[in-house]
């Protein structure tokens, strides 16, 4: 049961790190925003920049 409980938490932390990294890339290069949005991984509107 511990593995079942811990695994989603680890996955969530990894996802947050990945999305956070993509967010920084998006802010630096607006072309990345469109690429990532098309993949459905991260949505970042111009208002959030």
Instruction: Write out pLDDT tens, residues 21-36.
Output: 665 554 545 555 555 5
Q: What kind and span of H or E run contains 41?
A: none
Q: Which pLDDT belongs to residue 11?
A: 74
Domain span holding position 14: 2-39
pTM: 0.31
| Rounded distance between C-alpha atoms, residue 47 and residue 16, angstroms | 21
**What local confidence, expressed as pLDDT, does residue 1 receive?**
43
Residue 25 contacts residue 32 (beta carbons within 8 Å)? yes
Question: Has residue 44 been placed in a domain?
Answer: no
The total number of structural domains that make up the chain: 1
Q: Is the pLDDT of residue 13 over 70?
A: yes
What is the rounded CA–CA span in Å between residue 1 and residue 32?
Answer: 39
pLDDT at res. 49: 47
Specify if 48 maps to a domain.
no
């Amino acid at each position: 049961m511990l593995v079942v409980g811990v695994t989603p938490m680890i996955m969530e932390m990894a996802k947050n790190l990945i999305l956070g990294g993509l967010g920084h890339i998006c802010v630096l290069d607006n072309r990345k925003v469109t690429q990532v949005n098309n993949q459905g991984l991260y949505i970042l509107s111009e208002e959030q920049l």
